[in-house]
Structure 1
Amino acid sequence: MDKKKSPKLPKKTPPSTPQINSSKIPSCSNPPKKTGSAPKKPIQDYSNQVENWIHLFRHLNNAIEDLFTMCTNENFSAFTDGAIETLEHSLEEFRNLRQKQSGNTSVDISDPSGSVDGELLRQYLDDGLSPVQALVLLIRERAAEESDEIEEESWEELSVISFDSDKRCKSLSPGRVDRIRKLEEKLFREKPSPVEVKQKIDDKQKRAEWKRSLIDMKRQDVALQKQRKMRKIKEEIEKINEDKKRAIELQILLKQSKADERYEAHLSQIRNRAKTENSKPNEVAFILELQAEDKKMTIDQKIEDTRERRTKALQSIKQKQAERIQKEEAAEKRRLALQSERGNKWMSAKTKLEEAENRRIKFLEEKKTKAEELGKRGGERTYRSSISIKSRDETEIVEEKENESWDSSSTSSVDDVPKLWAYRVWSTHKDPNVKMTFNMKKGKIQKQKIFQQRYLWCSVCNFEIPTDSSPEEHINSDRHQDELRRFLVQGNLSDPVIMLTSSQDLEQQRDLYVKKRMKKVKQMLTNRCQKHEKVCIMGRETSGVNKNRIQKLGIDFEKCIANNVIDYGQIDSILKDTIKILDQRKEADLHVIRQLKFIPCLMEIIKKVKNCPKHEMKYILGLLEVGSKFLAIFSGLSENRTYMIITNRLIPLVDLVCWILEKPPKAIMELTYLSQLFHILTIHLKHRLQAEYRELRELYIDYLLNCGLLSLLRQKLHLLQRPLDLTSNNFSLLLLKCVGFLESLNTFHGWGLGNKPAYEVSTFLTDNFIYIFKESELAGIPYLLLCLLLNDGPPKQQAPRVIPQTSLAVSILSMRFLNNLARLHLPLLQEMLSSEEYYDQMYHLFNYILRYCTEHIDSGLEDVRELLHEVILLIGYFVTQNTKNQDMMNLGETSILQRLCGLPFAYFTDKKYTNVLFPTLISICYKHSHNLSILQQEMSVDMLSTYITQQCQYYPIHDPPIEEEKKDVIRSKKSLSISSSNSSSKSILAAASLKLVFTNRFPRYLWESAAEFFQES
């Protein structure tokens, strides 16, 4: 608001530097003069300090008014009580100060500049006021005049008074006494009422708004003129740039023509030199022939030795096969003998059953004849009763006979006869859904219905079709059609849906599908990849200082692998020499190495690891340590990474990692270069390729998921036991690189994670990938988090111990992996974490992390805050539209919801932190009355409802879908309002990540109902 200008008094010709001393002022504050010579008090000039006192007085008044409005509007009871206590304390201090200063003190006032304030002070002093009262009255009047336009009459009266000190009489007239009383009343008058102050403020605001509207109109006119000028300037600049481009193109053409001429001249010189130096290559060729003959002799001897060893091995294999055939024949004879014995037993049991059946038939015939005779003798009534009684007796006798037959037969074969009888009855029974079983306790045959469960499985997508839906819906879906277009089909195209009767068959079929798909992907990569000769010259070609040395090492390296005989010692020394050259960090050397055959030869060595003899295993494993270091340095260049992907050099590395993970844990820990291999795979995952090579990268991702790497990692992580010690550098580095590889795997930009909401399933994630993540139990990451953080089981009441830095880093990467997986497929994450195995443990894990982060968030570590933000995101994903998981939030003495509400105050006031916390609280309490009641006890629900209304303004429903991507970026900046200068590390708030946007964490169509739900509560 604009400040009001104080009315200026009419200037008069002041006297020459008047001075007013305390001797001229009638005041009782002057101390009695002592006898003797006393030093005079220095003259004080208050005219220059009046403006400062006026500003201080005004700022104090405005601060008190702002404090009052804040207390009334925000309704913070604790804040209001604190403000009242501070004001009471300051009032007491001022009263004490006033009591100490109750005695009037002498004040000397001088005005060397002859300003108006000095004249007013002299007038007040002449009127009978003390210097202090005159100063306070002057400050109040000036402050009131600058804030409003009030009391103009007092200024007019003061302006009429003449400031001539010589004409002023020193006696006080009655009118002068009244004037002094009015001034004293004006000095000690009360402050205006709050209603008057509010009315003044409203008037000021109206005038300010009117002035702002005028200023805005002027600014708009100026902006339009500036825009027109800028358009004209841009057009002129574009014309100038076009002229410059044409001139540069002409210069380039001239330079190219001159360079071609120089190049042809250079080639002609080289040809002339070659003609003169023909004799030297002939000598070199003769020496090379002699060396080749010597090597050939040694190779022939080695080949003969290997043939002899091979013949011996074949003979031993044949002997073992003959012994195995003999053992199989003996086992076949024993099996036939046992079958003959069982057949004899079965025949004997069958004959006994036939004899018992004949006896039963004869007995029944005798009873029928007796019943007919009795029926002839008696009447109808006696006939019926006798029949019923005799039928009962008949059944009892039959059961007794059957029991006798069972007892008699059980002496011969206890196990076979009941089974044979049950099989006989079942074979006569015609219902295939009924099974006959013999109960040994009751001695009876019982019927059991067979319920055959059907499993529908799609052989194209590796997807289990639920029984509720029809197969036709799945076949016509977009996912199924996309999978057909990728030419990775592993089933019958005419009838892709297969019906299976058991879960074991379903698991076998799905595992076979994964293996077949892996082979198909590998075949497609080998067919579509480019050869070394086509791609090695890509990028910038330079001639460095070490070019000749590297070329010689490359020729020697290629010779060491000739004729399938590897010289491990020579290769080791060659690689170490090249690493020394590459440690100079010159880009030209990396280009030269790509043009040579270092990488193809090294990949041939890696492929031989699986089929390597035992006596060569230690040499090849030692060589892989140097090779992994060489590959890590080679992959530091962007062109080299594209070369590795499009020439299919990563598949042998993936196979090598899988082969190492199949070994026992002790053998894995001895290999120090496994972490380096994970690092190489990770940087190739994060590398961005050109559009023409993206299909090869998608196949590489497909191979990583289908090769069984995730299941192997899960097996090794499940071998870890609590407590987990990360003091070993090798083990901690391996864990970091492994989890970093998994985190980069599910952040692959081809899966559309850029601006995808978490509650929408990714269309790029196939059903086969979902099955692999489910079977691998999310690669064992939940179990790893439990081993890292919950060392001693569920957390106790003691303060949590300090987590080491490596454990914090691994935990943050693991949480990011789970959050990224939630954004890919939220039902999968909720299903895995809410299973019987992890449900209770995830509760303790969330509770422990929240408790630890709240206690150590002030330690200054950025990793603690980052872990807290990742956990809050994971909890929000975990409870989104899931009542079972929402129930977890209110368990325990101090529930997870209470710990979230107990976070520092900045998470409820600072906008960049509320965007992290509030969506999670909304997901926890939406449509859950118990959680909402707990939240009402901890905080105000109005904060959540206002947050939702603000987000509704940023993201209206009626936005057109075409401009939605552009608007999301602008809205994310508005809603997040995160400055990059506040965060120096790679934290979750560093670059205004789209993960925090409310639309990506809670469904947009539920915002209005959520706002109503929280407002009604």
Structure 2
Amino acid sequence: MVPQPGSSPPEPWARASIGGLQLLLTGPVPHLPSPAPGDLAAGALTDTFLGTIQRLLDPGVPRQCLILDYEDVVRSLCSAVNVYNLTCNNCSETCTDVLFSNKITFLMDLLIHQLTVYVPDENNAILGRNANKQVFEGLTTGLLKVSAVVLGCLMANRPNGSSRPALPKIAAQDMKNKPSQGDAFNSRVQDLISYVVNVGLVDKLCGCFLSVQGPVDEDPRVAVLLQHAAGLLQAACSLCFAVTGRSYSIFDSNRQDPTGLTAALQATDLAGVLHMLYCVLFHGAISDPSATSPKETYSQNTVQVATQSLRFLNSFAALDLPAFQVKRCMCYSPLLAPASPSGGGRSSIVGAEGLSLAFRHIASSLLGHCSQVSCESLLHEVIVCVGYFTVNHPDNQVVVQSGRHPTVLQQLCQLPFQYFSDPRLIKVLFPSLIAACHNNRQNRIILEQEMSCVLLATFIQDFAQTPGQADNQSYQPKGRCLCSQDYLELANRFPQQAWEEARQFFLQKEK
């Protein structure tokens, strides 16, 4: 096991060994060979560094053979994980090998070990109780990062997609009875997601998110860990969408998830991400953000955390839209919780009203930031998330048109002129406006104060008449994943069967 602080000083030879290992791991990276297709260098390199990590942590190694200085060991582990990340980044062959050779399982086990040591058990965790601050040190962050990198690369290069990486030879022999590469890949990824859910990764990440009760402006370590943790959840949701054999449409009623990821995220209120984001933005100090002016702008650390958190929320919405919209799934905001009947303060779980307020405050505050500072990536994630929040959901449509002025709906209608003239930006904004206002006359009245609803009707008509848009969406193969462009298509933001009805609604004139 990893030696603990307070151990006896290491022998000189041990310190020299760890010094040499540290020099090797932290030396210049450019001399490392860039892996080419079919090149085994990357696989050999990942094997080398995984072997290093395993030897440092193997409880079977005699104690006298261990490097006994705790900080040196952790520093070397961090360096090994960082180099491992470099070998996997944007290399589909290496990431495929990591998946099929079960190296990814060891990485996940090591991550779970770190989180188990520093994050309270679910039964002992209470809202606002901080996880051990050491969880925010480099090793846990590095493991989250490399895990997210591997899953993200697998997502971008999965079989039957735009790229078809060859499976490793050993894995191909193991899978020779499988009908196709795609089936072998899907089966292995499902097993991986099921494994990390069953060992409690979602619960432990939830503990990390819930421990954040204030700003991250001055603590980049916490901000980086939150980004990579949300990135790992986003990659898991995207892969789960792709490999579970469901329809390509996010509005399909068949949403079976054999991995258990959806259920785990529902049970933990989206792993506490919404709660964390609320506390980061409002600093956990005000019970009603609508009673005071929100902060005009946020630091870069906060913006990066918010952007990645919203990417995760949007990926979960694509995975299971009803679960995303259901009230209990987005309600974890202790600052908005009603007082308990006994007068003992606020309850830990809020009701539907608290959910609505929390999401509305977050969206409004981030839209306000984007009106002051150019941040297209964050703005687009907020716009898409508001669309998912309101589509086919009358109660949530009311949420975005209520509250402090300008409301969320008014803020969307007051975006710069380019979002109403540039086709690329129109494609981002208009589906969310359609989702927020469809079959809601009050919202349409608010919309008409800023723009003509005919623009939305024309947008729908243009999509319906574009070759391939109206017909092909219904015939996309099951298991196909959403790429960055598909993510913005109207058919993935508003149900295709309601296009004509919505077009007629926006053409109606008030009597």
TM-score by length of 2: 0.72
> What are the equivalent positions in structure 2 for 1:208-607 lying under 5 Å apart?
569=15, 571-579=17-25, 583=29, 585-587=31-33, 594=45, 599-600=50-51, 602-607=53-58
Tell me, yes or no, if structure 1 residue 935 matches structure 2 residue 447: yes
Larger Rg: 1
Task: Select 2:225's aligned residue among 734, 754, 760.
Answer: 734
Distance 1:937 1:769 in 2: 42
Distance 1:670 1:890 in 2: 38
- Comparing 667-676 with 800-809, greater Cα deviation is found at 667-676
Task: Select 1:814's aligned residue among 306, 309, 314.
Answer: 309
Distance 1:572 1:659 in 2: 22
Task: Select 1:747's aligned residue among 230, 233, 238.
Answer: 238
Are the counterparts in 2 of residues 579 and 630 from structure 1 also a CA contact under 8 Å? yes
Distance 1:880 1:592 in 2: 45
SS of 1:726 mapped into structure 2: coil
Task: Select 1:653's aligned residue among 107, 112, 115.
Answer: 107
2:268 aligned residue: 776
SS of 2:452 mapped into structure 1: coil
Distance 1:833 1:580 in 2: 42
Which residue identity lines up with residue 112 of structure 2 in the other structure?
A: C
Are the counterparts in 2 of residues 876 and 1001 from structure 1 also a CA contact under 8 Å? yes
Structure 1 residue 701, shift from structure 2 partner: 2.6
Task: Select 1:690's aligned residue among 122, 147, 166.
Answer: 166
Task: Select 2:360's aligned residue among 829, 832, 843.
Answer: 843
Distance 2:371 2:450 in 1: 16
SS of 1:587 mapped into structure 2: coil
Tell me, yes or no, if structure 1 residue 675 matches structure 2 residue 170: no
Task: Select 2:422's aligned residue among 907, 910, 913.
Answer: 910
Equivalenced residue count is 418
Structure 1 residue 846, shift from structure 2 partner: 1.6
SS of 1:701 mapped into structure 2: helix
Are the counterparts in 1 of residues 438 and 502 from structure 2 also a CA contact under 8 Å? yes
Residues 838 and 855 of structure 1: is their aligned pair in 2 closer, same or farther, counting only changes over 3 Å?
same
Which residue identity lines up with residue 321 of structure 2 in the other structure?
A: L
Deviation string, structure 1 residues 308-367 (Cα, Å, up to 9, x no partner): xxxxxxxxxxxxxxxxxxxxxxxxxxxxxxxxxxxxxxxxxxxxxxxxxxxxxxxxxxxx
Residues 701 and 569 of structure 1: is their aligned pair in 2 closer, same or farther, counting only changes over 3 Å?
farther
Tell me, yes or no, if structure 1 residue 1005 matches structure 2 residue 497: yes
Residues 699 and 933 of structure 1: is their aligned pair in 2 closer, same or farther, counting only changes over 3 Å?
same
Structure 1 residue 893, shift from structure 2 partner: 4.6
Deviation string, structure 1 residues 354-404 (Cα, Å, up to 9, x no partner): xxxxxxxxxxxxxxxxxxxxxxxxxxxxxxxxxxxxxxxxxxxxxxxxxxx
SS of 1:838 mapped into structure 2: helix
2:330 aligned residue: 833
Task: Select 2:296's aligned residue among 781, 801, 807.
Answer: 801
> What are the equivalent positions in structure 2 for 1:9-28 lying under 5 Å apart?
none
Which residue identity lines up with residue 78 of structure 2 in the other structure?
A: S
Distance 1:816 1:601 in 2: 34
Deviation string, structure 1 residues 97-133 (Cα, Å, up to 9, x no partner): xxxxxxxxxxxxxxxxxxxxxxxxxxxxxxxxxxxxx
Deviation string, structure 1 residues 776-803 (Cα, Å, up to 9, x no partner): 2212110121022223531456473321
Residues 880 and 602 of structure 1: is their aligned pair in 2 closer, same or farther, counting only changes over 3 Å?
same
Residues 634 and 884 of structure 1: is their aligned pair in 2 closer, same or farther, counting only changes over 3 Å?
closer
Distance 2:484 2:192 in 1: 31
Distance 2:376 2:428 in 1: 11
2:250 aligned residue: 758
Task: Select 2:211's aligned residue among 698, 708, 719.
Answer: 719
Which residue identity lines up with residue 994 of structure 1 in the other structure?
A: D
Are the counterparts in 2 of residues 949 and 1011 from structure 1 also a CA contact under 8 Å? yes
Structure 1 residue 767, shift from structure 2 partner: 6.6
Residues 754 and 951 of structure 1: is their aligned pair in 2 closer, same or farther, counting only changes over 3 Å?
farther
Distance 2:216 2:427 in 1: 35
Structure 1 unaligned spans of 5+: 1-566, 973-990
Residues 849 and 753 of structure 1: is their aligned pair in 2 closer, same or farther, counting only changes over 3 Å?
farther
Distance 2:113 2:46 in 1: 30
1:789 aligned residue: 281
Structure 1 residue 882, shift from structure 2 partner: 0.9
Structure of higher RCO (CA pairs closer than 8 Å, 6+ residues apart): 2
Task: Select 1:877's aligned residue among 380, 388, 400.
Answer: 388
Residues 696 and 890 of structure 1: is their aligned pair in 2 closer, same or farther, counting only changes over 3 Å?
closer
Residues 805 and 661 of structure 1: is their aligned pair in 2 closer, same or farther, counting only changes over 3 Å?
same
Distance 2:136 2:504 in 1: 61
Residues 655 and 582 of structure 1: is their aligned pair in 2 closer, same or farther, counting only changes over 3 Å?
same
Distance 2:497 2:468 in 1: 11
Are the counterparts in 2 of residues 753 and 823 from structure 1 also a CA contact under 8 Å? no
Distance 1:687 1:668 in 2: 28
Which residue identity lines up with residue 501 of structure 2 in the other structure?
A: S
TM-score by length of 1: 0.38
Are the counterparts in 1 of residues 33 and 41 from structure 2 also a CA contact under 8 Å? yes
**RMSD after superposition:** 3.6
Are the counterparts in 1 of residues 413 and 450 from structure 2 also a CA contact under 8 Å? yes
Residues 716 and 586 of structure 1: is their aligned pair in 2 closer, same or farther, counting only changes over 3 Å?
closer
Distance 1:773 1:704 in 2: 12
2:124 aligned residue: none
Distance 1:848 1:706 in 2: 36
> What are the equivalent positions in structure 2 for 1:860-1009 lying under 5 Å apart?
861=374, 864-894=375-405, 895-954=407-466, 959=471, 993-1009=485-501
Structure 1 residue 808, shift from structure 2 partner: 0.7
Which residue identity lines up with residue 879 of structure 1 in the other structure?
A: T
Residues 658 and 1009 of structure 1: is their aligned pair in 2 closer, same or farther, counting only changes over 3 Å?
same
Which residue identity lines up with residue 647 of structure 1 in the other structure?
A: S
Distance 2:371 2:380 in 1: 11
Deviation string, structure 1 residues 918-949 (Cα, Å, up to 9, x no partner): 11111111111222222233322211112222
Distance 1:958 1:669 in 2: 49
Residues 839 and 736 of structure 1: is their aligned pair in 2 closer, same or farther, counting only changes over 3 Å?
same
Structure 1 residue 634, shift from structure 2 partner: 3.9
2:348 aligned residue: none
Residues 964 and 773 of structure 1: is their aligned pair in 2 closer, same or farther, counting only changes over 3 Å?
closer
Distance 1:608 1:744 in 2: 32
Are the counterparts in 2 of residues 568 and 623 from structure 1 also a CA contact under 8 Å? no
Which residue identity lines up with residue 646 of structure 1 in the other structure?
A: F
Structure 1 residue 807, shift from structure 2 partner: 1.0
Residues 622 and 945 of structure 1: is their aligned pair in 2 closer, same or farther, counting only changes over 3 Å?
same
Deviation string, structure 1 residues 227-275 (Cα, Å, up to 9, x no partner): xxxxxxxxxxxxxxxxxxxxxxxxxxxxxxxxxxxxxxxxxxxxxxxxx
Which residue identity lines up with residue 599 of structure 1 in the other structure?
A: L
Residues 568 and 777 of structure 1: is their aligned pair in 2 closer, same or farther, counting only changes over 3 Å?
farther
Are the counterparts in 1 of residues 22 and 76 from structure 2 also a CA contact under 8 Å? yes
Which residue identity lines up with residue 925 of structure 1 in the other structure?
A: C
Are the counterparts in 1 of residues 401 and 443 from structure 2 also a CA contact under 8 Å? yes
Tell me, yes or no, if structure 1 residue 633 matches structure 2 residue 83: yes
1:33 aligned residue: none
Which residue identity lines up with residue 782 of structure 1 in the other structure?
A: L
